[in-house]
Structure 1
Amino acid sequence: MRERTRGIRVCAAATISAVDVISEAVEDLRIGQVYGRRAEVAASFAGRFVSCEGVGFHVMLRGEGWLISGSAPPARMRAGDIALIPHGAEHGFAPRPSTLAELPPAPMGLQDPPPERLPVEMICGIYRLERGGSVHHFLRSLPDVVLVSPDYDRDARLRVLIDLLVEDLDRPREGTLVTRPALVDLMLVHTLRLWSGDSAETWDALGDPGIAAALQEIHDSPQAPWTVERLGRAAGMSRTAFTRRFTTLVGTPPMTYLIGRRLQQGAQLLRESDAPISAIARQVGYATEFAFAGAFRREFGIPPGRFRTLSEPLL
């Protein structure tokens, strides 16, 4: 398996992906807030984007420049390229190779359109997990910044998707609360598919049959009364060996991961359904609403009821 390094990773377009883990990673983001914008800047533009808990991307529509990371050499970004920021690392854009320390903070939020067409144009989208939660472990296993160069002749659908997102950003209309998250979801999925390419580029944990089996059990039935021993048996390992292997490959101990999956599913249900909190608690594996609420507050910083009332999308 190819060794991973943090920073910018550049790849050509590919075709086969770890669809299940990609679907789950993007689905987890839906408890966050979606933002997007189109920007035109001068050829001399340079800016640094601060780190955040979330996942974002930039698509270069016109012009070129350099994508800057804090942990890898600058990478040239040309028209058509897509930069994915899979776990919200600080990054920047500049007209020439530089370091993050040399870049001023990039302006955030909506900007007035320029009076004339400028040479560099891009669209940006992001899911921010502003009310707790965390980015999926698969996304955290990726480099700080991933740069892909799609073959639009082979994948004309991606060009159509980008055009749809540009139109949605330029002319928000009734239904934007639905279309914007859907288009951002699709952009993330397409970019992750291009990045993954083959199984050697997917989450390392899925390359271990025992750990993959335990993860499958957790994801299929997070509400089950799992213990480390039971998960170890599913993986075909002793308790000690399983805990060590799982923690190394996934990045967190088994029970911590299980709790995170339960609370993530609970947050999605709070956002997407009208079910009583007591019913959601049972559905994700908590015997009482009180136990669920306590764990939820520790994870997200607010109680479930408050989270539900604050979960209106912001575009």
Structure 2
Amino acid sequence: MLSELLKPLRLTGVFDSRWHVREPWAIEGDAEESCAILHYITQGHCWVTAEGRPPILLQTGDLAVFPMGTAHRLSDHPDRRGGVALGSVLPEREPGTSGQIRIEGSGPESRLLCAGLHYDASAATGLYQALPWALVLDRSQVDREPLLRDTLRLLAAVDRPVGPGDQLVTLRAFEMAFVLAMRPLLRELADNPSSLPVLRHPGVSKAMVIISTRFAEPWTIESLARQVGMSRSAFTATFRELVGEAPARHLAGRRMQEAARLLTETSLPQSAVPERVGYQSAVGFHLAFRKWFGMTPGEYRTKGLSSA
């Protein structure tokens, strides 16, 4: 199930920044909608704190990923008072651009690569949204993923190569780093299912796999419930509790994700898309697609081609 989680998620833009900060320092980050946040520590250390969460210490070589862009604070000490708002030192964080933060203090220096990884909100399934607010790979774990380690070091380099197509190359490099980071993190979740309760429920986790891989079949809530050995009412209630959305919406979302991919990444005729994603009626598909994305399939394809 976890291996399917990232398939529909594709980055649409990245803002990255390099931080050179000397103690004492603290920066208050904002919540970022439809944006994963990444912090890679290239020198020194920092503390991550957030309301109602235990503090997290990141040291040289550690990588932290915030899948939903949860608001948090970075500082040299978990009890550091004051600090500056991220918006005051980086007021414009447009995808496709880069920035730099310098804070001159009297203490030791820390250096970080930070990035906001924007993704299409429609691709963030209930399972993705159920991930822990912060996921951390320490230096030894990063080193066990040589491609991830080398990609992060290249992205963090002050003299990162630039040239034609640099914005696209940077986007895809961060996308690769994100997926490479999530793989070991998801393996950890599979080994410790208490971090993601849906993994502990055999019926709902099985339904998630079915929806992810067999979405084109003519499922109803009743047939899904029977397939996983649950009553309709118990299945619907438990699914909503563990996943955060109703099974019908989750199924519709998976079908819409695949429809969007077919429209923008393949030359499949538009008329063939409904059947490929589980709709028997072209009209029904058209109405569902427009409700989901706010535009028709044809408009979506045109928009996707023009931005490619």
Query: Aligning the two structures, in what range does the TM-score lie when normalised by the shorter sequence?
Result: 0.7 to 0.9
Structure 2: which amino acid aligns with 1:135?
A
| Aligned equivalents of 2:261, 2:160: Cα separation in 1 | 29
| Aligned equivalents of 1:52, 1:169: Cα separation in 2 | 30
Aligned length: 293
Contact 2:28 2:74 in 1 (8 A): yes
Pick from 153, 167, 171 the counterpart of residue 163 of structure 1.
153
Q: How does 1:3-22 map to 2 (within 5 A)?
A: 20-21=1-2
TM-score, scaled to structure 2: 0.80
> What stretches of structure 1 of length at least 5 have no aligned partner?
1-19
Distance 1:195 1:290, change over 3 A: same
Q: How does 1:89-238 map to 2 (within 5 A)?
A: 89-97=70-78, 103-106=84-87, 107=90, 108-109=92-93, 110=97, 119-129=109-119, 132-151=121-140, 152-166=142-156, 170-174=160-164, 176=166, 179-196=169-186, 197=188, 198-201=190-193, 203-238=196-231
Residue 255 (structure 1) aligns with: 248
Residue 19 (structure 2) aligns with: 40
Residue 26 (structure 1) aligns with: 6
Distance 1:225 1:136, change over 3 A: same
Task: Give identity over the alignment, percent.
Answer: 26
Pick from 271, 284, 292 the counterpart of residue 285 of structure 2.
292
Contact 1:57 1:125 in 2 (8 A): yes
Structure 1: which amino acid aligns with 2:16?
R
Pick from 56, 63, 66 the counterpart of residue 47 of structure 2.
66
Contact 1:161 1:183 in 2 (8 A): yes
Alpha-carbon distance, 1:188 to partner: 2.3
Distance 1:241 1:80, change over 3 A: same
Alpha-carbon distance, 1:222 to partner: 0.9
Distance 1:275 1:64, change over 3 A: same
Alpha-carbon displacement from aligned partner over 1:209-248 (angstroms, at most 9, x marks no partner): 2223322322222121111111111101222222222222
Cα RMSD between the aligned structures? 3.4
Alpha-carbon distance, 1:78 to partner: 1.9
Alpha-carbon distance, 1:144 to partner: 2.0
